[in-house]
């Protein structure tokens, strides 16, 4: 599909292209924001706020330390393994200023996963929260790490509050296991010792320089690292930032000229939150409220309460958990302008309930690690289309292809392909995997998602290629089944997978979480689905659980459910 097809098929106020020459490197945009918004609040965490100027000074101190007290040189990789705290932007900006590559590390990784990521990326340094330091102690000798820096949850807060929170976390909540890392350096002491000493600008400044090594979820095998360059990050920084430029029905910017207050519950180590909050919104001078543990719903709501928030990023499970809390209903939504959803499919029922409660619709977006990550986004001005992930980002073209690699017509299903400046350079040290992830001409990234593009440029994600269930030769998409079952008032969450069936090849098995006081049965769900789904799509098997396996950002792990089912079947066969 030609790029020209997408012209004029974007939200009001959004142009079709971006100026990639606007910044020489990603850190140039951050340096600009330090000066432009110096006195404005930048990030709030645990009730404490740092201004743009303070982030500037602290990150400069960290850069000075890295350049003058370590053996690290530009191009080396530093892994960052933390929750959403004030340390995160300080560390990322400081490391980029010193010319290091960022390796965002999931704090919930198992020790084998940590070993793989640190060794695969060649990380020479690690900044980790002490909550996870015991695992670092256990694996450090099996990695290439030369420098370990530790920090505690409240290290960027004023003394009294810092001591109180860190002591509570360690001694009362018992969240910090005893660990022994005698060579580890204190992040707080580093900043204190190097504050005001400046640094020598040494960032990676070529357009094609890799500045972020971002690992995929690894749900389909060993996690691979997408090489994200200056161009990739700058492109998505500009593309994602336009969410605040959209116009209302009168042609006026939806957010006006004032500083917007954005809530950041998704982890900053995830590329979605990393690009939006640390890059796009920071460049625009917005104020982000960092949520360290979004699963603690009441603490999450308490963190939002002092502010009249303008925007919130989340995903389906997070929206559901918020709406189940009575205290969420008491928040002031009068200044809320948009809610963004990404990372996993948004259920229609969730979106409708959210709009009824807050007065603002949820705009579903779509992206993937390999695209830095934003690919599509729905309008936020009441023009969002439920069931779609919106239209292509600026400077981006999409098409759908069949199994032969041929482009399918508008309105037909096919694998979604992406072309744009946000598409990764490739997978780190994996040339074969890189080739396999693009079309034969190397021009289009293969997403692995089945999609439909309509005449207005709105994209509907039908499902993952690998998650598709084939029942008697018919294609069945889990998202469709889950979307129907989720509308049942007694269903909290659900997930559909394909299981072996002697007659139909595969059959649909549904995992279900129901309300505490409900007595729902599989037969009840089958009856509920009869007039909503074709016969072969209706689940044949059911398993009721108290919770479903999820990734740290709230994606249901269908692969884990498939593995559990296979293990159960294997055990049953052995016992028989």
What is the distance between the alpha carbons of residues 482 and 538, in angstroms, rounded to a whole number? 11
- Write down the pLDDT at residue 220: 42
Tens digits of per-residue pLDDT, 527-575?
Answer: 999 988 888 899 999 999 999 998 777 778 888 898 888 888 877 777 7
- Write down the pLDDT at residue 222: 67
Average pLDDT over residues 67-85: 97
Report the share of the chain in percent with pLDDT over 90: 75
Tens digits of per-residue pLDDT, 209-249?
Answer: 999 999 986 434 568 999 999 999 999 999 998 887 787 66
Task: Name the pLDDT band for 198 (thresholds 50, 70, 90).
Answer: confident
- Write down the pLDDT at residue 218: 46
Average pLDDT over residues 512-536: 92
CA angle 180, 184, 186 (to 5 degrees): 115
- Write down the pLDDT at residue 217: 61
Residue 488 vs residues 134, 315, 493: alpha-carbon distances, Å: 43, 19, 10
Rg, the chain, Cα only: 24
Task: Name the pLDDT band for 87 (thresholds 50, 70, 90).
Answer: very high
Tens digits of per-residue pLDDT, 474-507?
Answer: 778 888 899 899 999 999 999 999 998 877 778 9
Equal fold, 50-204 vs 469-575: no
| Highest mean pLDDT: which range of 110-114, 243-247, 343-347 | 110-114
Report the share of the chain in percent with pLDDT over 70: 98
- Write down the pLDDT at residue 219: 39
Q: Is pLDDT at 84 greater than 70 in this prediction?
A: yes
Task: Name the pLDDT band for 348 (thresholds 50, 70, 90).
Answer: confident
- Write down the pLDDT at residue 247: 78
Task: Name the pLDDT band for 74 (thresholds 50, 70, 90).
Answer: very high
- Write down the pLDDT at residue 216: 84
- Write down the pLDDT at residue 503: 77
Q: Is pLDDT at 339 greater than 50 in this prediction?
A: yes
Tens digits of per-residue pLDDT, 385-438?
Answer: 999 999 999 999 999 999 899 999 999 999 999 999 999 999 999 999 999 999
Average pLDDT over residues 193-210: 94
Tens digits of per-residue pLDDT, 9-35?
Answer: 998 888 899 999 999 999 999 999 999
- Write down the pLDDT at residue 249: 63
296-304 contact pairs (CB < 8 A, 24+): 297/321, 297/322, 297/324, 297/325, 297/328, 298/325, 298/327, 300/265, 301/325, 301/327, 301/328, 301/331, 302/327, 303/44, 303/47, 304/263, 304/331
Average pLDDT over residues 276-303: 96
User: Which are the contacts of 326, defined by CB distance < 8 A and separation ≥ 6?
Assistant: none
Q: What is 50-204's CATH number?
A: 3.40.50.980
Range 469-575 has CATH code 3.90.1150.10: no
222-226 contact pairs (CB < 8 A, 24+): 222/116, 223/113, 223/116, 223/117, 223/120, 224/427, 224/428, 224/430, 224/433, 225/103, 225/117, 225/120, 225/121, 225/427, 225/428, 225/429, 226/369, 226/370, 226/424, 226/426, 226/427, 226/428
Stated pTM of the model: 0.85
**H or E, element range at 310:** none
Calculate the average pLDDT of the chain.
Answer: 92
Phi, psi for residue 358 in degrees, rounded to 5: -100, -20
- Write down the pLDDT at residue 389: 95
Q: Is 67 helix (H, G, I), strand (E, B) or coil?
A: helix
Compute the residue count for the chain: 576
Average pLDDT over residues 90-109: 95
Every domain of the chain and the residues it spans? 50-204, 469-575
Average pLDDT over residues 453-479: 84
Residue 118 vs residues 73, 91, 141, 413: alpha-carbon distances, Å: 17, 17, 11, 39
């Amino acid at each position: 599909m030609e790029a020209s097809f997408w012209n004029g098929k974007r939200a009001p106020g959004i142009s079709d292209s971006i100026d990639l020459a606007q910044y020489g490197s990603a850190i140039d945009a951050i340096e600009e924001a330090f000066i432009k918004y110096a006195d404005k609040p930048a990030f709030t965490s645990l009730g404490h706020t740092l201004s743009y100027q303070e982030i500037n000074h602290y990150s400069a101190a960290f850069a000075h330390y890295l350049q003058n007290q370590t053996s690290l040189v530009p191009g080396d990789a530093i892994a960052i393994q933390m929750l959403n705290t004030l340390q995160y932007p300080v560390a990322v900006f400081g490391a980029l200023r010193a010319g290091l590559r960022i390796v965002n590390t999931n704090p919930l990784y198992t020790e084998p996963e940590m070993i793989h990521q640190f060794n695969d990326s060649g990380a020479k340094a690690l900044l980790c929260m002490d909550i996870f330091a015991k695992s670092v102690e256990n694996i450090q000798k099996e990695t290439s790490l030369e420098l370990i820096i530790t920090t505690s949850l409240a290290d960027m807060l004023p003394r009294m509050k810092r001591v109180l929170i860190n002591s509570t976390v360690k001694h009362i909540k018992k969240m910090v296991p005893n660990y022994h890392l005698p060579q580890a350096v204190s992040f707080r002491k580093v900043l204190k010792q190097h504050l005001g000493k400046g640094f020598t600008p040494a960032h990676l400044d070529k357009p094609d320089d890799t500045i972020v090594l971002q690992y995929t979820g690894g749900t389909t095998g060993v996690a691979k690292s997408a090489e994200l360059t200056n161009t990739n990050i700058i492109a998505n920084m500009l593309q994602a930032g336009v969410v605040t430029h959209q116009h209302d029905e009168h042609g006026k910017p939806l957010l006006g000229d004032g500083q917007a207050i954005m809530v950041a519950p998704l982890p900053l180590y995830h590329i979605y939150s990393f690009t939006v909050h640390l890059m796009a919104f920071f460049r625009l001078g917005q104020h982000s409220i960092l949520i360290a543990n979004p699963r603690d719903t009441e603490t999450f709501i308490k963190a939002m309460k002092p502010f009249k928030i303008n925007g919130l990023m989340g995903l389906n499970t997070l929206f559901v958990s918020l709406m189940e809390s009575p205290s969420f209903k008491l928040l002031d939504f009068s200044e809320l302008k948009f809610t963004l959803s990404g990372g996993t499919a948004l259920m229609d029922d969730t979106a409708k309930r959210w709009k009824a409660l807050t007065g603002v619709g949820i705009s579903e977006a779509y992206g993937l690690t390999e695209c830095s990550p934003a690919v599509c986004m729905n309008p936020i001005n009441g023009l969002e289309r439920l069931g779609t992930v919106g239209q292509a980002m600026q400077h981006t073209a999409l098409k759908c292809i069949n199994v032969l690699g041929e482009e399918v017509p508008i309105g037909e299903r096919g694998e979604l392909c992406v072309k744009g400046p946000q598409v990764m350079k490739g997978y780190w040290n994996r040339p074969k995997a890189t080739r396999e992830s693009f079309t034969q001409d190397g021009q289009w990234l293969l997403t692995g998602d089945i999609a439909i593009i309509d005449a207005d440029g709105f994209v509907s994600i039908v499902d993952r290629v690998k998650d598709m269930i084939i029942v008697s030769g018919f294609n069945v998409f889990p998202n469709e089944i889950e979307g129907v079952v989720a509308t049942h008032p007694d269903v909290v969450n659900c997930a559909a997978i394909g299981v072996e069936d002697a007659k139909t090849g595969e059959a649909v098995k549904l995992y279900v979480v129901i309300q505490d006081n409900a007595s729902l049965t599989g037969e009840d769900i089958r009856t509920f689905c009869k007039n909503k789904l074709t016969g072969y799509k209706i689940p044949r098997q059911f398993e009721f659980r108290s919770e479903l396996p999820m990734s740290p950002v709230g994606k249901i792990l269908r692969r884990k459910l498939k593995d559990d089912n296979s293990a159960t079947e294997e055990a049953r066969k052995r016992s028989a």
